[in-house]
Amino acid sequence: MLNGRSVKFWAVTAIVGANLIWGVNYVVSKMVVKVYIDPVTLTMYRILVAAALMWLVSLFYQSERVEKRDLLRLFLAALFGVTLNQSLFIHGIARTTPIDAAIIVTLGPILVLLLSSLLLNDRITASKVVGIVIGAAGAISLVTYSGTASFGREHLLGNIMILGNATFYALYLVTVKPLMSKYTSLTVIKWVFLFGTVQMLPIGLKPMLEYNLFAQPFNAIVDIAFIVVGATFLAYLFTSFALTHIKATTVSIFAYTQPAIAAVFALFLGVDSLGWVKVVSMLLVCLGVYIASRPTIANPIALFAKKP
């Protein structure tokens, strides 16, 4: 039997592992998508396999009955947090760079603050406004810089898609907030991914059935398995375990390591470069998040340990 200190150690280890996986996933997804697999097929694989594995894991835990009135909220959470979120990420990462994507996604907590104020009537303080403005300035500078001649419109479109990815994930967190206090994390996540699978089937089933995974090079299969099993299934489970045993505010801090992890991995493999605009943008976003989140950390913000 693990004591309290051991449980906390493993919880911290789990959230560190989840963010390490997500940081690396920016680079792995960039190397795989459009080269070995198209965005729609990869998204379908991610959602379907993760849903199957989550329901399999849930068999080993006590089942919770979900009330009918919560099914619509779960459906919307799946639409925002799985279907649109992951589709935009895969399409976006195919067009932009891993470091750009990781920096833009870090804007998520500020988006949650804004949406919580609009949809949940959370109070906006002066510090939150300042944080939102600073963080937005960092994101806008990065997104618009990509539209210059040196990058082109395709890169700009990719960054806009990643911004949409972060926005829908923020909307997902606001939508799912009441459910997290009512059911266990595993119950919520397995239903969200089940509905996400249903939503993706009309556009994703045919491409997935036509795709021959085992005809791809071995390294491509390993990369796709990492994205599907590691960055989707395992990372979500690690985060759920961590949220059960340590403060959500502590969990949220680790999410801001993703740009650094993505940058180190991308630079090591030579698939991206780190210019002054990216450095300044990352500092502005992180500063904005810190200022906006400092007074009161609402649950949705604290839960923002995101995936690509």
Domain ranges of the chain: 17-302
Angle at CA 99, nearest 5°, toward 255 and 216? 100
Q: Residue 168 — φ and ψ, nearest 5°? A: -70, -35
pLDDT at 208: 96
Between 150 and 82, name the one with better pLDDT: 82
Q: Please state the rounded mean pLDDT for residues 14-43.
A: 90
Q: Which residues contact 217 (CB under 8 A, 6 or more apart)?
A: 36
* Secondary structure (DSSP) of 130-193: HHHHHHHHHHHHHHHHTTSTTT-HHHHHHHHHHHHHHHHHHHHHHHHHHHHTTS-HHHHHHHHH
pLDDT at 110 over 80: no
| pLDDT range class, residue 119, cuts 50, 70, 90 | low
Instruction: Using the Cα atoms of residue 139, residue 143, residue 145 and residue 146 in order, give the sign of their dihedral.
Output: positive
pLDDT at 122 over 70: no
Query: pLDDT digit string (tens) for 123-158?
Result: 667 776 777 677 777 766 766 665 443 456 788 888
pLDDT at 78 over 90: yes
Q: Residue 261 — φ and ψ, nearest 5°? A: -65, -45
Element (H, E) at 79: none
Tell me how far apart the alpha carbons of residues 245 and 4 are, in angstroms, rounded to a whole number. 9
pLDDT at 57 over 60: yes
pLDDT at 298 over 50: no
pLDDT at 305: 45
Rounded to an integer, what is the distance from CA 263 to the centroid of its chain?
17
Copy the structure tokens of residue 295.
Answer: 């007074």
Query: Of 42-51, 135-144, 258-267, which range is least confident?
Result: 135-144
Tell me how far apart the alpha carbons of residues 252 and 302 are, in angstroms, rounded to a whole number. 5
What residue type is 282 in one-letter code?
A: M
Residues across the chain: 308
| pLDDT range class, residue 288, cuts 50, 70, 90 | confident
Average pLDDT, the chain: 80
For residue 81, which of 21, 16, 164 has the smallest C-alpha distance?
164
pLDDT at 120 over 70: no
User: Do 262 and 120 contact (CB within 8 A), yes or no?
Assistant: no
